[in-house]
Every structure is written in structure tokens, then in C-alpha cells.
Amino acid sequence: MEQTDIVIVGAGVVGLAVAAELSSKFTDKSIVLVERHNKFGQETSSRNSEVVHAGIYYPSNSLKAKLCVDGNKRLYQFCKKWGIPHNRLGKLIIARSEEEIPILESILKKGLDSGVTDLELLDADQVIKLEPNVKAVAAILSPSTGIIDSHSLMSRLEWLARQQDTMCAYNHEVTTVEYAGNGNGYTLTYRGPDGQIDKILCKWLINCSGLGADKIPYWLGMDIDKASYRIYPCKGEYFGVSNTKSGMVSRLIYPPPLKELKGLGIHATKTLDGRLRFGPSAFYIDTLDYSVDEGHAIEFYNSINTYLPFINFADLRPDMSGIRPKIQRPGAPVQDFVVRHEAASGFEGLINLIGIESPGLTASLSLARMVGDLVGNDRHHN
Ligand SMILES: Cc1cc2nc3c(=O)[nH]c(=O)nc-3n(C[C@H](O)[C@H](O)[C@H](O)COP(=O)(O)OP(=O)(O)OC[C@H]3O[C@@H](n4cnc5c(N)ncnc54)[C@H](O)[C@@H]3O)c2cc1C
């Protein structure tokens, strides 16, 4: 049976960032990154808004807030260092009526509590000066929100990991995991590229498997409901508009977020090539499917029309969708990221990253740093 020190499951942006971090920090350890698709980033990491968030919305002591604020800075530094295409174009969170102004005030406070110090509250005139085509009575300006080319980011992370001797095993799907107990490691069974079943033994198992992240704890016999690790997939669809209308806003425009932060509300995002897109919506699903239902255009139109009156119903075209790996049950309060060394539950060397929904792309480098610390701080197991 093959053996290695560390196996990372999942080559999305988080698994890749973890691979780059661990391979630079622990040069004496052998690392294998296992991914079921034939290349990196085929799931949530390439189906999102590509926004570098500032960290405004989340409870201030949460990992989401801390890792987003820290991740925002790290990501811009990384972009600068490696020439990753990005645009720090800024964002407005708008109030569409006087009644929404208190929501902005509470968001502003949350942001400040989390260390986002560059936010500005704007009145209607100031909004019009920045964005003449947006209908709003007030807004929060977040100058450090931007957009990034997530493919280039992942490609650079993969390159860094490979340079530092990480082995990337694509077309390898983990089908079950067993624990030998007493810190004696994990045996992963996987299906390889030709359908062959094989096994690999590792001391550290880092679970970055996104929508599949509840499987590893389940295979190991953990009670995933008790631990709140069960994934409830929550879909988000996008609609686009023609290029002629794309130039009518130059920043990201967000209405106030949805109740219990199920999503950030159907907002206007820009792509690096200047296209205007709307979304993502948020609804729970039973089966994973990335189609976009044209029939949902009316829901988009009704929402967008409240702040971008220049968009007509006929302008909207189905674009793409992504699926959030939520651990927040339908109707339940918002949940934080899980980033946990499971030694206390009897699984030494298992680090679970579960519920890594938004702002996981922004937080990716900070999540990786945290995993590096969890591995480095474990004296008994290294
Ligand atoms: C609609 C939407 C919009 C978003 N917008 C933003 C945004 O603007 N900004 C932001 O910061 N974040 C955003 N996010 C969140 C962000 O996209 C995710 O947090 C991030 O991509 C998660 O990366 P990941 O590596 O954890 O997961 P993934 O990209 O899903 O990667 C997990 C990988 O694990 C692999 N895998 C799973 N099970 C197995 C197995 N058994 N064996 C082998 N491989 C396996 C999968 O194939 C997959 O490649 C958004 C998310 C959604 C859904």
C-alpha cells in the first residue's frame, strides 16, 4: 500500500491553498492532493462571483469574519506578487428606501467590529455621483472589495504546490476512509483513473472536499448531525445582460443581505472583462444540478428593478450557477466555517474544513494558514 505523510482531499481553491501552504511550511513531509475530477476547480471554486470580500457581514468573532478580513489582504498581496488578474473596483451596499437605512447602519457596525476600517456611509447625492444609474437613498461604500480571476489564482497555487513536491492525483475519487486509532493514521480507499480500486495510508488527513465534506466524517463513524457537519446544498443562479448595459455601473452593487445570511441578496457583480451579472439567488436543493431555470428570470427582474431601473426583463439571460456547501439547515441560524483538528473527538491528524461557503474564496489563503498552524502546533502527532 502507498504511504504518505499528508493527504489533502479536494483540489478546489481551499485544497490547493492548503497544499501550497503545507508544502512550503513542512518541506520534510510528503503530500498528496487527491481530486476526483481531471483537473482542479471543477466545482464551487469555479462557480462563484469571484468577489474578494471585505468581511463586512459576519459576526465579528466568527472565523468567517476573521479569515475574510485577513484573507482579503493576503489575496491582494498574492495577486500583486504573482500577477493574478484582479480589480479592486469597490462595492456599494445600498438602501432602497428609508426603512433600509438602519440595516446599513447595523452592517456598518458589524464591519467596523470585524476590523473593516475603510467603510463609508454615503447619502443619496454621493451615491449618484459615483453611480448615476443606481437608485438608492443611501449606501455603504466598501473600497477594498474587488474581483479576481479565480482560475489564475488556482493555477498559481497548484504550481506552487507542485514546485514544492506536492503530488496532484487527479481522477482519483476517495470512496471510503478508515482510522487505525491511536494516532496510527488513515487508510483511504480510492477509485483511480482506470476505475481501479486502491488504498493509500497517511498520518494527516485534510478534508477540503467542499460539497462532499460530510462524507469523510460519516465514513469515520462520526455523528454528522450531532456535529452539525451535514451539508445542505444551496443553489445560486446567475443571469447576465448584454454588453451595452454592462457599462452602466462600474462597481459591485448589493442590496441588503437576506435573512440569516442565507445569501447576500441578488446583487450586481462585474466580471474582469466588464460584463454585468446578477445573482446568486439562494434556494436549497436535493440533487446537485447546475442548470439555470429560465423561469426564475422574473424573480431576478423584480429584485434588480428595485435598484437598477435601466434593466428590462428582456435584457436578462440565464448565465451559470453554483452550489453552496451549507451546514446551515433550511430555516436555521447562520453557521460559521468549521476548521477543526478532530483530536478531541478521538481522530488525531484529521482536519475537517466543512461548510466553506462564501467568503471561502476570499478566505482561502487564511484558511490554509490556519490549517498550517493546526498541523504545526500538534507536538504529539508530528
Ligand atoms: C454561488 C456562489 C457564489 C460565491 N461567491 C463567492 C465570492 O464572490 N467570494 C468568495 O470569497 N466566495 C464565494 N463563494 C464561496 C467560494 O466559492 C467557496 O467557498 C470556495 O470555492 C470553496 O472552495 P473549496 O475548495 O472548499 O470547494 P470546491 O471548490 O467545491 O472543491 C472541493 C473539491 O473536492 C473534490 N472532492 C469532493 N469529494 C471528493 C472525493 N470523495 N474524492 C476526491 N475529490 C473530492 C471536488 O471534486 C472539488 O473539486 C461562492 C459560492 C457560491 C456557491
Q: What is the pLDDT of residues 204-259, one digit of tens each?
A: 999 999 999 999 999 999 999 999 999 999 999 999 998 789 999 999 999 987 66
Q: What is the pLDDT of residues 219-230, one digit of tens each?
A: 999 999 999 999
Residue 37 above 90 pLDDT? yes
Percent of the chain at pLDDT above 90? 93
pLDDT reported for residue 355: 98
What's the pTM?
A: 0.97
The confidence band for 382, taking pLDDT boundaries of 50, 70 and 90, is low
Atom of ligand 1 nearest to the CA of 13: 25
Top mutation candidate among 7, 264, 358, 364 for ligand 1, by most atoms within 8 Å of CB: 358
Distance 98 CA to ligand 1 centre (A): 37
pLDDT reported for residue 241: 93
How far apart CA 40 and CA 190 sit, in angstroms, is 17
pLDDT reported for residue 258: 64
The confidence band for 364, taking pLDDT boundaries of 50, 70 and 90, is very high
pLDDT reported for residue 256: 86
When pLDDT is averaged across residues 91-109 and rounded to a whole number, the result is 94
Top mutation candidate among 21, 34, 43 for ligand 1, by most atoms within 8 Å of CB: 43
Distance 275 CA to ligand 1 centre (A): 23
Distance 111 CA to ligand 1 centre (A): 25
Going by DSSP bridges, is the β-strand pair 350-354/86-87 parallel, antiparallel, or unpaired? unpaired
C-alpha closest to that of 375 among 24, 33, 41, 63 = 24
When pLDDT is averaged across residues 116-132 and rounded to a whole number, the result is 97
pLDDT reported for residue 341: 97
Bond preceding residue 256 cis, omega within 30 of 0: no
pLDDT reported for residue 378: 83
Domains along the chain with CATH numbers:
2-46+151-230+334-376 (3.50.50.60), 91-143+232-326 (3.30.9.10)
Q: What is the mean pLDDT of the chain?
A: 95
Q: Which residues line ligand 1 (CB under 6 A)?
A: 9-15, 34-37, 42-45, 48-51, 53, 173-174, 208-212, 215, 236, 280, 322-324, 356-362
Q: Which residue puts its alpha carbon closest to atom 28 of ligand 1? A: 12
pLDDT reported for residue 57: 87
Atom of ligand 1 nearest to the CA of 360: 19
When pLDDT is averaged across residues 134-138 and rounded to a whole number, the result is 97
Distance 364 CA to ligand 1 centre (A): 10
pLDDT reported for residue 261: 57
Residue 132 above 80 pLDDT? yes
Residue 379 above 90 pLDDT? no
Q: What is the pLDDT of residues 194-203, one digit of tens each?
A: 999 999 999 9
pLDDT reported for residue 380: 61
Residue 137 above 70 pLDDT? yes
Residue 85 above 70 pLDDT? yes
pLDDT reported for residue 1: 82
Going by DSSP bridges, is the β-strand pair 31-34/2-9 parallel, antiparallel, or unpaired? parallel
Distance 39 CA to ligand 1 centre (A): 14
Q: Convert the chain into a string of H (helix), E (strand) and C (coil).
A: CEEEEEEEECCCHHHHHHHHHHHHHCCCCCEEEECCCCCCCCCHHHCCCCEECCCCCCCCCCHHHHHHHHHHHHHHHHHHHHCCCEECCCEEEEECCHHHHHHHHHHHHHHHHCCCCCCEEEEHHHHHHHCCCCCCCEEEEECCCEEECHHHHHHHHHHHHHHCCCEEECCCEEEEEEECCCCCCEEEEEECCCCCEEEEEEEEEEECCHHHCCHHHHHCCCCCCCCCCCCEEEEEEEEECCHHHHCCCCCEEECCCCHHHCCCCCEEEECCCCCEEEECCCEECCCCCCCCCHHHHHHHHHHHCCCCCCCCHHHCEEEEEEEEEECCCCCCCCCCCEEEEHHHHCCCCEEEEECCCCCHHHHHHHHHHHHHHHHHCCCCCC
Q: What is the pLDDT of residues 20-35, one digit of tens each?
A: 999 999 999 999 999 9
Atom of ligand 1 nearest to the CA of 49: 8
Top mutation candidate among 44, 53, 170 for ligand 1, by most atoms within 8 Å of CB: 44
Going by DSSP bridges, is the β-strand pair 252-254/91-95 parallel, antiparallel, or unpaired? parallel
Q: Which residue puts its alpha carbon closest to atom 4 of ligand 1? A: 48
